[in-house]
Amino acid sequence: MAPIDRIHEELILMICRFLHPANVQMDQVYANNAEKGDNGIRRALRPGWTDVFFFSLANKKYRRIIGNDLYHTVSVHGPGLRPLVSLLRLVTKKPDIGIAVKRLHLGLGPNGTTVKAAPLNAYDALFIGQVAAAAELPCPKHMWRILKNHNRRVNKNPLSSRITNVKNAELDKTEFMHYTSGTVRASLIVRLLLRKLKNLEQLGCALPHGAFSWGDDDDQLNLGPRLLRLTTLAVRPAGCQFSGNDLNALSRLATHATCLYLQPSDFSMSGLEMTPHIRQTTFLQFSNIVLCGATNPIAAICYVTAGLFKNLLAFTYVSSPVSPAHAAMLLPRNIIQSLVSHSATSLRSLCLDYSGCCPPPQPVAYSLRWFVHMRNLRLHISTFRGAYDPAVPDSKNEPTNPSRVIETLPPSIERLCFTGQGDIEDDLEWIAESPTRFPNLCHVEISDPDVVNRLAQKFAKANVVLSLVKLQAHVRKASLWGF
């Protein structure tokens, strides 16, 4: 057998991809990391890549060959800050690994960054201080201290605020170091880490309050890194309010990002409403918004679409599982009303996903003609049909009140996808028999194979492709980690 250094590069890649298939779901990785705990950066990689990880560290040549596949996606989950420090140490010692990271998922719960839950070795603290000094980031006074109540042997005297001047003798007497501020500890490590990942394209973060905030003034906010290749940003507040400084810092971090995933709660949205100094002009670069898992969707949608983000090109709403008693909060009418005010002429794509509701809400007929340039519409609801709503502004001007949502589609529609369990055969026949109503329509996807077989010929005569939506596309929802 030939020595491994003589094996062809393509064969090495095939071996590595066999050890770790690329189709591992990120939510599975997220759960596995939480169960296994922190045991080095290899825990942050996808399962099955332990051997490949050590193989990449053996030689720079191998790291160059498999770096893009091995380190393409990294998921770091708490508790504590040790996984973040481990990843920061790796990309600092081996910069070529940091360049290979394209997708980064950070998850730190609100209890994982408290003083007692985030122990750090003194050498880790010294390393963080050195990296911060090299990056010219200021370290606040009393940033580090020793937890005196810890059951391990510790030094009675706290280390100096200038952590880089600590002597080895002091490190020998101190085993664990702790941050004094939950905001500062997460913010510093995350900022230092992002400075090393210059080619990052997608960032998902479930972080506590203030994780991206360094200060209240512009000078402190401008200290953050700039990720020029970042296109997608996913944010989920971890159990508390999401501060306005966090959102400001994220918007300045992702100056070129266009897609934003938000998974807010009542508390997080109220925190934004109470922050008057948020600059709405900094959020105009986001044209594709995905809102999922909101417990109060009416307030969240109205504030997001009207208060923070305007002139959207694409909007997706994914409902959270709710009881039938709260189904009234999830009517598509509320979403459309909030979008009409600021995105009526700019919206190109709209997706309403109610597959998580049991049962899905019945839609109320509401005219979609306001979205004059809409091209793509995806509905994951029970049926197209809905009762006439007298509260609809433009319904009084209609000669005949529409009884079906399908009748209110704008003529500019090009692609239509419906994944519901209701009887929509009559609606589809109406589309096939009225080709002049939608001259740009070219593709219709549904989830009922019997209807596809019966109406395929009628749609073919109208030059429209009627197909069965793929199962993976039907099941997969726009979650936080599934960019």
pTM beyond 0.85: the answer is no
Band (49; pLDDT cuts 50, 70, 90): low
CA-based nearest residue to 287, from 323, 324, 254: 254
Q: Which of the 8 DSSP states describes residue 277?
A: T
Q: How many CB atoms lie within 10 A of CB 73?
A: 20
Stronger pLDDT, 442 or 419, i.e. the higher one:
442
pLDDT of amino acid 48:
52
pLDDT for 181 beyond 60: no
Span of 100-109, 197-206, 381-390 with lowest mean pLDDT = 381-390
Residue 241 is classified by DSSP as P
Share of the chain above pLDDT 90, in %: 4
Region 170-177 average pLDDT: 40
- Name the most confidently modeled range: 121-125, 176-180, 377-381: 377-381
Q: How far apart are CA 406 and CA 419, in angstroms?
A: 14
Q: What percent of the chain has pLDDT over 70?
A: 45
pLDDT (mean) for 7-26: 61
Strands (E) in 255-360, as ranges, are: 259-262, 288-292, 314-318, 349-353
What CA–CA distance (Å, rounded) separates 125 from 146?
A: 11
Q: Are 251 and 230 in contact (CB under 8 A)?
A: no
Q: What is the pLDDT of residues 194-209, one digit of tens each?
A: 888 888 888 887 766 6
Q: Between 192 and 478, name the one with better pLDDT.
A: 192
Q: 472-475 long-range CB contacts below 8 Å, 24 or more apart?
A: 474/419, 474/447
Q: For 269-295, what is the mean pLDDT?
A: 61
The confidence score (pLDDT) of residue 177 equals: 42
Element holding 176 (H helix, E strand): strand 176-179
Could you tell me the pLDDT band of residue 55, with boundaries at 50, 70 and 90?
A: low
Q: How does residue 216 score in pLDDT terms, banded at 50, 70 and 90?
A: very low
pLDDT of 132 > 80? The answer is yes
Most confident of 30-39, 125-134, 152-161, 166-175: 125-134
**Which of 253, 219, 207 is CA-nearest to residue 137?**
219
Contact 350, 371 (CB under 8 A): yes
Task: Report pLDDT for 302.
Answer: 63
Distance, CA of 447 to CA of 469 (rounded, Å)? 6
Which range in 77-81, 132-136, 250-254 is most confidently predicted, on average pLDDT? 132-136
Q: Is the CB of residue 417 less than 8 Å from the CB of residue 469?
A: yes
Give the per-residue pLDDT at 156.
36
Higher pLDDT, 397 or 231: 231
Query: Number of C-alpha atoms within 13 angstroms, CB side, residue 219?
Result: 2
3-state secondary structure of 276: coil
Per-residue pLDDT at 173 exceeds 60: no
pLDDT of residue 150: 42
Using DSSP, state whether 232 is helix, strand or coil.
strand
416 neighbors 443 (Cβ within 8 angstroms): yes
* 343 in Cβ contact with 381 (< 8 Å): no
Mention every residue, 6+ apart, whose C-beta is less than 8 A from residue 148: 154, 156
**What does the pLDDT read at residue 291?**
78
Average pLDDT, the chain: 66
Compute the distance between CA of residue 71 and CA of residue 63 in angstroms, rounded to an integer.
Answer: 10
Strand 376-380 to strand 415-418: parallel, antiparallel, or no bridges (unpaired)? parallel
Find the mean pLDDT for residues 304-329. Answer: 67
Q: How many CA atoms lie within 13 A of 130 on its CB side?
A: 13
Map out the domains of the chain as residue ranges. Answer: 116-179
- Our separate counts of H helices and E strands in the chain read 17, 15
Examine the pLDDT at 397 and tell me if it is beyond 80. Answer: no
pLDDT level of residue 242 (50, 70, 90 thresholds) = low
What count of other Cβ atoms lies within 10 Å of the Cβ of residue 27?
13
**Is residue 160 scored above 80 in pLDDT?**
no
How high is the pLDDT of residue 175? 39
The residue among 375, 385, 355, 313 whose CA lies nearest residue 473 is 355
pLDDT of residue 98 exceeding 80, the answer is yes
C-alpha separations of 117 from 81, 109, 176, 182, 370 in Å? 9, 11, 12, 10, 52
Q: Are 434 and 462 in contact (CB under 8 A)?
A: no
Point out the least confidently predicted range of 304-308, 344-348, 430-434: 304-308
* Distance of alpha carbon 116 from the chain centroid: 29
Cα separation, 15 vs 303, in Å, equals: 49
